[in-house]
Amino acid sequence: MSVHVPLPRRSRGRRSAVLGAAAAAVFAIGLLQPQGTAGADTTAASPQKQLPYRDAKLPTKDRVADLLARMTPAEKIGQMTQAERYDVADDPSLITEYGLGSVLSGGGSTPARNTAEAWADMVDGFQEAALDSRLGIPLLYGVDSVHGHGNLKGATVFPHNIGLGATRDPKLLEKIGHITAEETRASGPQWSFAPCVCVARDDRWGRTYESFGEDPNLARRLETVIDGLQGRRGQLDDPDRVLATAKHYAGDGLTSYDESKAGTGQYPIDQGVDEVSSREFAKLALSPYPTAIHRHKVGSVMPSFSSVDWTEDGLGNPVKMHASKELITDVLKDRMGFDGLVVSDWRAIHQIPGTYEDQVRISVNAGIDLFMEPTADGTGWRDFITTLTGLVDSGAVPMARIDDAVSRILAAKFELGLFEKPMTDRRHIDEIGSPAHRAVARQAVAESQVLLTNKRGTLPLSAKKSPVYVAGSNADNIGNQAGGWTITWQGGSTNDIPGETILDGIEATATKDVTWSEDASAPVPANAAGVVVVGETPYAEGFGDVGGPQWAYDPGDHGVPRPPKTMLLSDADQQAIRTVCAQAKNCTVVVVSGRPMIIPPDLQGQIDALVAAWLPGSEGLGVADTLFGRRPYTGKLPLTWPRTVAQEPINIGDRDYDPLFRFGHGLRTR
C-alpha cells in the first residue's frame, strides 16, 4: 500500500541536476575509454588544481560530475563508508588506503584530551590522511551535537529538545542551532546528527526527550534549528555552520510498547514496530520531513532503527526502515524531493533479516547512501567494503545506485567548502562555552520552564523576605540536569561539565540564608520557602525505556548497573517532598526529567507549586531566574502529563482524555 505524503510532488532541485550530469559524464567517459579502464583518472599526471572538480567557480553539479567520472568503483565504495574514530585512531593511513568518505565520533568517543584544540587536531589528522588519497577527496566528520556539542567538555550544553519544545520559540531555536554549529565546527566536525524531528507519542520511550513533543505541528514549527545549524541557503561553507540531519526517518516516536519485553533485558519500545495505518503514519511520522526538506533545506536524513507496519489495520508484515525502498527512495527522495544524502544509523542495517550480504544489498538498493558501520567484532566497515564490492561486481547492486549515492556525498562536501578549506577553521574556537553562548542557554532554560500548579501565588519566590530550604536528588547534580548525550553516550550522575546546578542558581539569587540538605534531614528554618528538586537520572535510547533492560549500564559508568527506569519518583525523593512540604512555609517541587514523572495523589495535595524543568543542561541559573521572578514563566507542555503510567500512551485528541495536565498547559507569571 502506498503512503500518502501531505505535500505535492516537487522538483528534486539542485542535486537532481547533479545526479543527471554525473550519470551523463560517467556514461560518456565509459564509451570513450578502453575496456577495463572505466572510471580511471586519465589526467592524474595533471596538477589537481587544474582539474574541473578543483575549480571553486564551477557549479556544484559540474564539479560532482567531473570528480565522479574520475573515480574507480573502489573509490566510490570507500566514499559510502563511515568508520568510527576508534577504528582509525591508531592508524589513520587506513583512511587513505580505503578512501573512506566519513568518520564519526559516537557518544563519549573523544580524543584522549577532551579539549577543543585536541578535537580539532584529531579531525585534522584524519583529514590529512584523506587528502593523501589519489584524488584528495576530503573527509566528512560527524558527531551527535544534539543539545550543543555535548561530547566536548567545555561546550555550551543546552536543554534537550523536550524542553525546547516547551519554549514554543522558533527564533530561539535558530539561535541555539547557530551556536551549536559554531562550537562544533570550530572544534573540527562539520556534520551534526541533529535535529531529531520525531513525534513522541509514548512517554515510556527512552528517547522521549529527543523529541520536541507529541504534536507534529510543534516539530515542524521548531525545525528552525536547521537554519541555525546550516545557515540559510549557500552558507554551509561558513566556519560557523555544519551539515544538519533530520532524524529518525520515520516513525521512531510511534513504536508500540511490547509488554513481553518488559524486564527481560530487551527494549520494550525503542527500535520497535509502528503498528499504525498509512494515514496515521503520514500524519505523525512523515509530516515533519517535507518542511525540513523544502523550507529548511536539510542536508542529510537518518533512517530509524524501527520497523513500520503501515497497512490500513496495522497488522501486516513489519519492514525495517533501513530496508524500505518505498519509504527511502520512492517517498523521501522521489515524492518529497529530498536531494541530500541518507546516512544509516549505528550498525542499523544489521537488524535487517538475512545474511550480511542480504543486509548490504537490501539497504543500498533501498536508497541509503552513506553507511555508519563502526567496528563491533574487528571487521565492521571493512566487511561493508568487501561485501558491497562483491555485490557491485555481481550486478546485485547496480552502478547507477552507487553513482547516485556518491554524487550526494560529494555534493555535500563541495557545499561545505571542504575541497577549498579541508582543515579546521579555528577562528571561533575561543567562543566555545563563552559567556555569550551560555547566556543564550540560560535564556532557553528559563523559557522552557513550565509552571504546572501555583497555589496561593507561591511563585515567584521573594529573594529577600524568606530563607530558602533546598532538598532533593537533582538540586545539586549537573550530570543529572544535563541528561544523556553529555560527555558520554548515556550521560551520568557523576559527569562534570562547566556550569551551575539549580542549587548554585538559587544560592546566587536568594539574598536570605539558603539551607541545603539532599535528603531533607537538616532542620527546616522557621518561615522558610521550601524547594525540592527531584526527577530522573541520565539515560539514552532504549536504556531509558520504562520496563526496559532490568539492569542496564554503559562503559562510561565503569560497569556500574542501573535500576530500570519507571517514570516514578524515587522513594527518597518522595520522602524529601513530604518532609519539606510538612515543615516549610510553602513548598515548590521542581521536576528534572526527560518526560513527565508520575506525581502520587497524596503528594499533589501537599505541593504548593509544581514546575517541569525538563533537562536544562549546564545553566541552572535559568531555573532560578523563573523561581525568583527575574523572568516570567511562559513555557507550555509539549506533551501530555499523565496521572499514572497505565494511561500511556496518552496524547491530545485521544478519546477519554483525562490527564493530570493537558498538552499545552502552562501557567504564566509576571
Burial class (CB in 10 A: 0-12, 13-18, 19+), 435: exposed
- pLDDT (0 to 100) of residue 283: 97
In the chain, what is the greatest distance between 2 CA atoms, to the nearest angstrom? 93
Of the listed ranges 53-57, 259-263, 391-395, 452-456, the least confidently predicted one is 259-263
**Structure confidence at residue 475 as a pLDDT band (50, 70, 90):** very high
- pLDDT (0 to 100) of residue 317: 80
- pLDDT (0 to 100) of residue 364: 98
How would you classify the pairing of strands 319-320 and 307-309?
A: antiparallel
- pLDDT (0 to 100) of residue 549: 79
* Phi/psi of residue 122, nearest 5 degrees: -60, -50
Is the torsion defined by CA of 440, 442, 445, 451 positive or negative? negative
Peptide bond into 460 cis (omega under 30): yes
Task: Provide DSSP, 368-400.
Answer: --BEE---SSS-THHHHHHHHHHHHHHTSS-HH
DSSP, collapsed to helix, strand or coil, labels residue 73 as helix
Residues in the chain: 670
Amino acid at 84: E
Q: For residue range 411-468, list pLDDT tens digits in order.
A: 999 999 999 999 999 999 999 999 999 999 999 999 999 999 999 999 999 988 899 9
Mean pLDDT of the region 483-488:
97
- pLDDT (0 to 100) of residue 31: 28
Annotated catalytic residues are 345, 541
Place of cell 555508519: 372
Strand partners, 427: none
On the question of pLDDT at 616 being above 80, the answer is: yes
- pLDDT (0 to 100) of residue 13: 42
pTM of the model: 0.93
Q: With helix as H, strand as E and coil as C, how does 141-169 read?
A: EEECCCCCCCCCCCCCCCCCHHHHHHHCC
Q: For residue range 154-177, list pLDDT tens digits in order.
A: 999 999 999 999 999 999 999 999
Cβ-proximal residues to 471 (8 Å cutoff; 6+ apart), any chain: 516, 517, 518, 519, 520, 530, 531, 532, 533, 576, 579, 580
* Contact between residue 652 and residue 634 where contact means Cβ atoms under 8 Å apart: no
Q: Which three cell numbers stand for residue 490?
A: 548515556
CB atoms < 10 A from the CB of 233, how many? 11
Mean pLDDT of the region 7-11:
38
Indicate the Cα dihedral angle 167, 172, 173, 176, nearest 10°. Answer: -120
- pLDDT (0 to 100) of residue 649: 98
Please tell me which residue, 262 or 210, carries the higher pLDDT value: 210
Q: Which three cell numbers stand for residue 534?
A: 527531584
**Structure confidence at residue 563 as a pLDDT band (50, 70, 90):** confident
What average pLDDT does the structure give for the chain?
A: 91
Q: For residue range 320-374, list pLDDT tens digits in order.
A: 999 999 999 999 999 999 999 999 999 999 999 999 999 999 999 999 999 999 9
* Contact between residue 412 and residue 299 where contact means Cβ atoms under 8 Å apart: yes
- pLDDT (0 to 100) of residue 234: 80
How far is 413 from 191, CA to CA, in rounded Å? 10
CB atoms < 10 A from the CB of 178, how many? 20
How far is 390 from 387, CA to CA, in rounded Å? 5
Please tell me which residue, 2 or 382, carries the higher pLDDT value: 382
In the sheet where 140-143 sits, what is the strand order?
A: 191-192, 140-143, 102-105, 81-84, 371-372
What domains can you pick out in the chain, each with its CATH number?
78-430 (3.20.20.300), 437-647 (3.40.50.1700)
Of the listed ranges 6-15, 341-350, 493-502, 658-667, the least confidently predicted one is 6-15
Indicate the Cα dihedral angle 420, 423, 424, 425, nearest 10°. Answer: -40
How far is 631 from 610, CA to CA, in rounded Å? 17
Mean pLDDT of the region 635-660:
97
On the question of pLDDT at 26 being above 90, the answer is: no
- pLDDT (0 to 100) of residue 315: 53
Measured CA distances, 195 to 1, 177, 230, 292, 415 (Å): 29, 9, 11, 10, 20
How far is 413 from 407, CA to CA, in rounded Å? 10
Mean pLDDT of the region 549-561:
57
**Structure confidence at residue 49 as a pLDDT band (50, 70, 90):** low
* Contact between residue 110 and residue 150 where contact means Cβ atoms under 8 Å apart: no
* Phi/psi of residue 641, nearest 5 degrees: -100, 110
- pLDDT (0 to 100) of residue 25: 39
**Structure confidence at residue 21 as a pLDDT band (50, 70, 90):** very low
Q: For residue range 581-611, list pLDDT tens digits in order.
A: 999 999 999 999 999 999 999 999 999 999 9
Is the torsion defined by CA of 397, 403, 404, 408 positive or negative? positive
* Contact between residue 635 and residue 449 where contact means Cβ atoms under 8 Å apart: yes
CB atoms < 10 A from the CB of 351, how many? 16
Share of the chain above pLDDT 90, in %: 85
